[in-house]
């Protein structure tokens, strides 16, 4: 199996047994051993929030305070190397983020705090953030997410997985809290942690692909296309303002020309779309296809699909039928789709719909004694 440089370094570190940690538990009422052996029978157990492929996430209560406790599994169930390394990667990133916060207390205020993290003990302990039911995203919540991912970029951290399971919404704002697929990169010299190969992947795109276009599909279903288009326009205006700041930052710090020009071209395209409803509709078609096709492909590849995956497939079938020529003319067909005829592209998404039906997730039960 071929591994990239980051994967090789992480595998070597993991094999060495070298401890990577942050914080201490000297003042915490529970020991490391008690935390790592947490189960449904532990006195401090409140609920099992998530049983993932690489770790279990618990809500625990100690001295009337609640905490989020992630405990690594002894054997990862992930089929892919980055999945197998995701807990180790999160430990690395948590340590780096906390040190960044120590250096600048105004930095990364929308990123959850870490109390204690240890790779050798396989635990991550954080304050519990009480989520509220989310029916819609306010402009303030959108701003908190988009400025947070842009701030992480400036600090040299590129996130690939900003899906709803990795973002907590409280009454006022959104919090980023899962960093298994957050990787180091050079923001002045690279588009993302894959370097200069794939500019389509940038921080706003990652949020839109992993989270926001799924949200827009739900709005289309419940409120209609006009409501979804309006929500898209509001989010894109916030993204535009975030990337104006990104462009200024790149120019101030002398980023390489190709990186600056890419952001400038994005801003130009978005600004053009704001000038009329018809142009906004065109951008919505292009970016819907981009994000839904990328997200559905990832879900099908991982064999982890839901009813949302079927909705994405249905939308892609619709876009392929109604907008093939427009998508092709605007270079929206990527990663081999550009070589497919209209009939073959349609068959591709009909086949992915069948796979999405086959790979439906079995919901995990939440065990709670509250």
Q: Where are the beta strands (DSSP E) in the chain?
A: 21-22, 45-51, 55-62, 65-72, 116-118, 123-127, 157-159, 167-169, 174-176, 182-184
> How many residues belong to the chain?
370
Q: Are 41 and 48 in contact (CB under 8 A)?
A: no
Q: Which of 219, 218, 191 is nearest to 205 (CA)?
A: 191
Tell me the average pLDDT across 9-30. Answer: 96
| Domain definitions of the chain by residue range | 5-127, 139-358
**Mean predicted lDDT score pLDDT of the chain:** 94
> Which of helix, strand or coil describes residue 21?
strand
CA distance 149 to 24: 28
Beta strands 55-62 and 45-51, pairing class: antiparallel
SS (H, E, C) 37-97: CCCCCCCCEEEEEEECCCEEEEEEEECCEEEEEEEECCCCCCCCHHHHCHHHHHHHHHHHH
pLDDT, one tens digit per residue, over 288-330 is 999 999 999 999 998 989 999 999 999 999 999 999 999 999 9
Find the mean pLDDT for residues 256-268: 98
137-185 pLDDT, tens per residue?
899 999 999 999 999 999 999 999 999 889 998 877 899 999 999 999 9
239-269 residues labelled b (16+ CB within 10 A) or e (exposed): bbebbeebbebbeeeebeeebbebbeebbeb
pTM of the model: 0.93
d(CA 106, CA 100): 10
């Amino acid at each position: 199996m071929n591994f990239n440089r980051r994967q090789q370094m992480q595998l070597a570190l993991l094999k060495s047994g070298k401890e990577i940690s942050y914080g201490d538990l000297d003042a915490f009422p529970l020991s490391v051993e008690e935390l790592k052996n947490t189960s449904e029978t532990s006195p401090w157990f409140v609920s099992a929030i998530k049983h993932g492929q690489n770790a279990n996430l618990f809500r625990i209560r100690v001295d009337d305070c609640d905490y989020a406790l992630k405990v690594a599994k002894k054997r990862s169930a992930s089929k892919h190397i980055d999945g197998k390394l995701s807990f180790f990667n999160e430990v690395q990133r948590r340590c780096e983020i906390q040190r960044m916060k120590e250096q600048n207390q105004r930095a990364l205020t929308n990123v959850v705090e870490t109390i204690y993290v240890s790779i050798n003990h396989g635990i991550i302990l954080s304050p519990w953030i009480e989520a509220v039911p989310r029916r819609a995203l306010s402009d303030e919540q959108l701003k908190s997410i988009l400025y947070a991912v842009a701030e992480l970029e400036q600090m040299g951290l590129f996130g690939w997985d900003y899906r709803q399971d990795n973002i907590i919404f409280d009454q006022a704002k959104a919090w980023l809290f899962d960093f298994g697929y957050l990787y180091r990169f050079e923001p002045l010299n690279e588009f993302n942690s894959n370097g200069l190969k794939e500019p389509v992947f940038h921080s706003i795109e990652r949020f839109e692909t992993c989270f926001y276009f799924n949200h827009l599909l739900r709005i289309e279903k419940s409120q209609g296309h006009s409501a979804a288009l309006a929500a898209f326009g509001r989010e894109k205006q916030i993204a535009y303002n975030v990337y104006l700041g990104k462009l200024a930052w790149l120019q101030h710090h002398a980023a390489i020309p190709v990186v600056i020009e890419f952001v400038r071209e994005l801003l130009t395209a978005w600004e053009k779309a704001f000038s009329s409803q018809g142009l906004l509709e065109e951008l919505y078609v292009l970016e819907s296809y981009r994000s839904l096709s990328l997200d559905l492909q990832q879900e099908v590849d991982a064999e982890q699909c839901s009813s949302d995956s079927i909705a994405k497939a249905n939308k892609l079938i619709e876009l392929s039928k109604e907008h093939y020529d427009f998508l092709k003319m605007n270079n929206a067909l990527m990663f081999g789709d550009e070589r497919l005829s209209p009939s073959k592209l349609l068959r591709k998404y009909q086949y992915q719909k069948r796979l999405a039906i086959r790979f439906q997730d079995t919901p995990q039960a939440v065990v709670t004694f509250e």
